[in-house]
Structure 1
Amino acid sequence: MSDDVYNQKSSLESYDPCTREVLDQHERIRKEFAAELINSVPNPSFILNNARKIVLYNETLAAAVGEQRENMILGRRPGELLRCCNSQKSWCGEAVPCVQCGALRAIQTAMTGGRAEEECMLLASIDGKVKSYTFKVNASPIVIRDEQYFIIHLADISDSKHKEMMERVFLHDLLNAVNGIVNAGTLIREDAIKSEHRDLAGMIVDRANFMANEIDAHRLFISAESKQLEIHNEPVAVKQILESVSTFYSGSQLAKDKNIFINSEIAEFGLLTDKRILYRIIENLVKNAIEASPANGKVEIKASSNENLALFTISNEGAIPMTVAHQIFRKSFSTKGKGRGLGTYSVKLFTENYLRGKVWFDSSQEDGTNFYVELPLSPSAEQLVTDPCQRGL
């Protein structure tokens, strides 16, 4: 951009983007592309020409930017209309930071004939005040009367991204605090002279360890749900995992009148998988089995393997009613009240989306309830599930 043009563009109000070419394109598109169609889209939507200038838009976009004057929208590029800080002194898409813009990447993909979805973190300057947005941007090419255009949809996900960030920060800080309690309680227990003080310190450590475990589980679930969970495969000794889960719950208040058994016939075998995720799968199933068991009931943990597969079975003596069975893996469905229902859903999510396995169950008054998790012994094996909804529904 020359110095003269740069100086002319000291603000968005200093130039008229609504040129005759833009108005002609606007009229041609409006005749071919019904306004009702784009206005039926609930999110801000608009159509760009090859110069990335807006030539058609919906009412939702006008409301979102607080601008009803057509000549102040037509001909502008998206960043200029949204008051992006980078477009205050440079044309939208031409400032140095624009190479990182998710919206520009999505539009450029559409301009090469593809469809794209990107996240755009935009810092806007509105009435002299800075405001941050995060948009999900969908861009697709569209041909109208033999002319190439690009249709763009924006979804403001600022609130959900802020909530996600704050939740991660909160959980991180909370876990640090709980680990501090664990360390302090451990020191007190080791130095305590009176047995009652050692018992009290031990109780503090146990409760803090339980809290830390719950926080870790929640963090893992959040990452999985947001598709940000990275897999770290390593050799895992199956019996060690099962014993760890059994020991954790055997000493908890949840299992005070229940009996947890690891089947004595379990052979020593291992598999190559993500240890954290496998632990959470078994833990959730054992926890659910404990909660579903009658007083003095038995929860049994089994595991076996063949040439390519490992099979885990978690059994309890309770039965699942048919009305519940059809919804058992649904997110937020629970028979335990509001605010529950992520246990079996997370098992299905972890097993089938991340560990390339499958999970199902059977239940009857005679045999109780059995949950099964089948996993490949190695992630290089062929994926077990082709339809993620094929079992347990």
Structure 2
Amino acid sequence: MKNLFFSSLRNSLLTLVLLAVLPALGVILHSSLENRERDIKDAQAEALRVAQFLASEQQLITMRAEQLLSLLAQMPQVKALDAQATSTILRRLRTQSFVFTNIVATDAQGQIFGSALHLDRPVRLKAGQHFDTALQSGEFTVGDFNLGLPGTTSAPLLHFAYPITGNDGQALGLLATALRPDRYERIFNVASLPPGSVLSIADHSGKRIFRFPAATETSPTGQKIAMDLWNEVSGPNTLGTATVTFADGVRRIVAYTQLRLRPEAEPYLYISIGIPEQQALTGAINTLYRDLSFLAGAAFLAILVAWVVGGIVISRPVERLAAVARRLGSGDLDARSGAPEEFGELALLAKTLDDMAEALSEDITAREAAEVEVRKSEALLRMIMEALPVGVWMSDPSGRILYANQASRQIWGPAGESTESSPDLGAGFRAWRHDSGEALRPEDFVLARAIAGEDPAPVQVLDIETPGAAGHAVVHCAAIPIRDEDQALRAVMVVIEDITERTQREQARDSVEHIMRHDLRSPLVGFASLPQLLLREPNLTDEQRGWVARLGVSAGNMLRILDAYLKLSRIERGNLTLEPVQADLVALVQDARESLALLPSLKDKHVRLTLNGAPPAPIPGLVISCEETLCSTMLSNLLKNALEASPKGGVVEVDLEDLGHQARITVRNKGEVPLSIRDRFFEKYVTADKANGTGLGTYSARRIAEFHGGHIRLDASVPGQTTVAVLLPKTPPVKAGR
């Protein structure tokens, strides 16, 4: 039977073209799967970052609520159930920077006798599980789904309760306060997640306390979250990701975190961030469609070329060679094949027939050869220009666009008409100066300024609107004049880079830092002033004053940590200047040790400090020149990590060594760093599945050490032991902090 695929030269070429397309199709499909996996991982990482940030914020507020209520519960006026005095104290607190909706005090039966907000009539606090748990256990509790406290709105709130106990330890009443979860809307919006992303907060039983954006029809508050989502977030993992279908029918990539009052306690809150799977995979899907379209177009063109060129390049030359052979056979020695030399075996056959004639290449002059080389060079240059990721224009001295590569056409759209007095800026061109928002006149554009002879070459950052693919974009433009040997202007090259995404990322990061600096730090400053006010009360006992002092220390530490984070962010962006002061490393370690001793989870663990292998003397210690806040944060993070990793009753050894021009800090503890993360121990967000761990402690320590011109290393060579060593110059070099 005749084989149709190889029945002729043309059919054979078409078959080979189709077979050549198959590997490319396989590569495209494989690349699509890799893009899909990468996009899912990117979405998971982004959602996890936001969920961890919100969880950290909530844990901070919960800790503040516990400290505030426990302090109030120790006051004599509250213990005496003195309604007027208690209300006065609560209202005084309410006038400070306050994040809670209200604070109420009740007796053991739930009758409210004190409130930070005015109540028109006697009110009984609606009992809930947290109410009974606080009275029975005598401990701080977090409530389940419920509506507002008396005197506040009826919106769903997160409730906190702490018992009021007498001298005999019996419960006399209860202090309660609540937080509106909708305060997290701003942080969620700043995160710039894809459209359709959802923030969901549920209590310990899975009832939805808050959802943003709200969806009252499919996901009302007070109802249990979707079962698929609940099964994931309530699992054994404190932190994780999954892909589930929400109650609104949308399949989302979810990152969740569980919040606990204590490591061994059950979660009291579940925070989850969901990103629509379709949105996350948009890039991979579009890339697949684009690649398949390109492949289909290339295959069609290849088939068309094979069909047309096959007849021209193969069939016709074979017929022509046969005719020449017949003429030669008949005695016509003037017959010539005329075939060029570029066609392999056919050219070899033609050369055999044409050896008796003049070489075809004798008619090619040196000028024609040079023109061919010029055309090749121009083609190569055009290929390079089209492949560049930045836009490139080439203009003549009158401003008329001679050439625009693919990237510039995507940004600016098709070039329009131009005149000698008006440089060609593209049809519909509109631009503003990025820094001032001032509209840009055509004669102020970099191209016009370069044509006008401005030196050095002008550079601009512009906001533009064009009919191109970009539409609205932020671009960096530079004009480069091209002159001949007599310095006469021959052309102007304009280089355009689309920096929209980079600008948006910088703006988003600045927004988050602004929130931390103003919306978080300012209330915290107000909160830190409360202990000073309370210490002025003459009727506080020594124990109460001790608690108030500890509260002040904790608030100060929180402010220091927040300031250190803001400085660390500036270090990452490279715009923080090192301003060193003289600081005693011994004192810094002792301060960090005393601060960490206040944490209940670390009370049974200890830090042993030595200087050059011996207990440190009171003075002079080990003084270096450094950014004191950053070094204090670095030491606190290293000590906290070591204490948390140590077994119960463990001792963390800290040795400070004076090496002359350098100081070495060695932190050693029992316990091993998991092998899977040792190579990435100082990278961002790397953690060993530690409860409430963020993976930022060791990363920030590395950045701070490098910022001072030092370095940090991990030594896990001794089984059952972890050693972290930091080497810092006593005087940072000039290049440090850059």
Same fold (TM over 0.5): yes
**Which residue is 1:34 aligned to?**
382
Aligned residue identity for 1:169: H
Match of residue 185, structure 1, among 502, 513, 531: 531
Structure 1 residues 213-222 or 359-368, which shifts more? 359-368
**Which residue is 1:319 aligned to?**
672
**Which residue is 2:558 aligned to?**
211
**Which residue is 1:296 aligned to?**
649
User: What is the CA–CA distance in structure 2 between the aligned matches of 1:339 and 1:92, rounded to whole Å?
Assistant: 51
> Shift of the alpha carbon at 1:211?
2.8
- Does the CA-based 8 Å contact 1:135-1:154 persist in structure 2? yes
**Which residue is 2:160 aligned to?**
none
User: What is the CA–CA distance in structure 1 between the aligned matches of 2:714 and 2:724, rounded to whole Å?
Assistant: 4
User: What is the CA–CA distance in structure 1 between the aligned matches of 2:547 and 2:417, rounded to whole Å?
Assistant: 70
Aligned residue identity for 1:349: R
Q: 1:282 to 1:142 in 2, by over 3 A?
A: farther
The correspondence of residues 148-163 of structure 1 with structure 2, limited to 5 A, is 149=493, 151-156=495-500, 157-163=502-508
User: What is the CA–CA distance in structure 2 between the aligned matches of 1:365 and 1:32, rounded to whole Å?
Assistant: 59
Structure 2 segments unaligned to the other structure (5+ residues) = 1-374, 433-437, 484-489
How many percent of aligned residue pairs carry the same amino acid? 18
User: What is the CA–CA distance in structure 1 between the aligned matches of 2:482 and 2:652, rounded to whole Å?
Assistant: 59
**Which residue is 2:714 aligned to?**
361
Q: 1:375 to 1:185 in 2, by over 3 A?
A: same
User: What is the CA–CA distance in structure 1 between the aligned matches of 2:567 and 2:378, rounded to whole Å?
Assistant: 48
> Shift of the alpha carbon at 1:366?
4.2
User: What is the CA–CA distance in structure 2 between the aligned matches of 1:203 and 1:53, rounded to whole Å?
Assistant: 73
Structure 1 segments unaligned to the other structure (5+ residues) = 1-26, 99-106, 113-117, 384-393
1:167-222: per-residue Cα shift (whole Å, max 9, x none)? 22212212121011111232113316244764664564344334323311210110
**Which residue is 1:172 aligned to?**
517
> Shift of the alpha carbon at 1:322?
2.7
**Which residue is 1:386 aligned to?**
none
The correspondence of residues 1-393 of structure 1 with structure 2, limited to 5 A, is 31-35=379-383, 37-42=384-389, 44-48=390-394, 56-65=403-412, 67=413, 69-71=414-416, 76=424, 81=429, 83-84=431-432, 85-88=438-441, 90-93=443-446, 111=457, 120=461, 122-123=462-463, 149=493, 151-156=495-500, 157-173=502-518, 174-191=520-537, 193-195=539-541, 198=545, 201-202=548-549, 204-263=551-610, 264-266=614-616, 268-336=621-689, 340-352=694-706, 354-364=707-717, 366=719, 368-380=721-733
Aligned residue identity for 1:243: Q
- Superposed CA RMSD in Å reads 4.2
User: What is the CA–CA distance in structure 2 between the aligned matches of 1:214 and 1:258, rounded to whole Å?
Assistant: 22
Secondary structure of 1:209 counterpart = helix
- Does the CA-based 8 Å contact 1:266-1:302 persist in structure 2? no
> Shift of the alpha carbon at 1:257?
3.0
Aligned residue identity for 1:182: A
**Which residue is 2:352 aligned to?**
none
> Shift of the alpha carbon at 1:305?
0.6
From the CA coordinates, give the structure whose radius of gyration is larger.
2
- Does the CA-based 8 Å contact 2:712-2:724 persist in structure 1? yes
Q: 1:306 to 1:186 in 2, by over 3 A?
A: same
Aligned residue identity for 2:589: L
User: What is the CA–CA distance in structure 2 between the aligned matches of 1:86 and 1:28, rounded to whole Å?
Assistant: 43
- Does the CA-based 8 Å contact 1:308-1:381 persist in structure 2? no
Aligned residue identity for 2:606: N
Aligned residue identity for 2:715: D
Structure number with greater CO (CA < 8 Å, separation at least 6) is 1
Secondary structure of 1:229 counterpart = coil
User: What is the CA–CA distance in structure 1 between the aligned matches of 2:491 and 2:407, rounded to whole Å?
Assistant: 25
User: What is the CA–CA distance in structure 2 between the aligned matches of 1:242 and 1:72, rounded to whole Å?
Assistant: 71
> Shift of the alpha carbon at 1:77?
5.7
User: What is the CA–CA distance in structure 1 between the aligned matches of 2:596 and 2:417, rounded to whole Å?
Assistant: 64
User: What is the CA–CA distance in structure 1 between the aligned matches of 2:594 and 2:575, rounded to whole Å?
Assistant: 30
Secondary structure of 1:158 counterpart = helix
Q: 1:329 to 1:380 in 2, by over 3 A?
A: closer
TM-score by length of 1: 0.69
1:276-334: per-residue Cα shift (whole Å, max 9, x none)? 22222212211221222222221222101122111111111111233221111222222
- Does the CA-based 8 Å contact 1:29-1:56 persist in structure 2? no
- Does the CA-based 8 Å contact 2:716-2:722 persist in structure 1? yes
Secondary structure of 1:329 counterpart = coil
User: What is the CA–CA distance in structure 2 between the aligned matches of 1:289 and 1:236, rounded to whole Å?
Assistant: 23
- Does the CA-based 8 Å contact 2:638-2:698 persist in structure 1? yes
- Does the CA-based 8 Å contact 1:185-1:204 persist in structure 2? yes
User: What is the CA–CA distance in structure 2 between the aligned matches of 1:275 and 1:208, rounded to whole Å?
Assistant: 18
- Does the CA-based 8 Å contact 1:319-1:369 persist in structure 2? yes
User: What is the CA–CA distance in structure 2 between the aligned matches of 1:76 and 1:380, rounded to whole Å?
Assistant: 51
Aligned residue identity for 2:391: S
User: What is the CA–CA distance in structure 1 between the aligned matches of 2:661 and 2:476, rounded to whole Å?
Assistant: 41
Aligned residue identity for 1:265: P
Aligned residue pair count:
330
- Does the CA-based 8 Å contact 1:190-1:198 persist in structure 2? no
User: What is the CA–CA distance in structure 2 between the aligned matches of 1:40 and 1:379, rounded to whole Å?
Assistant: 45
- Does the CA-based 8 Å contact 2:385-2:405 persist in structure 1? yes
TM-score by length of 2: 0.39
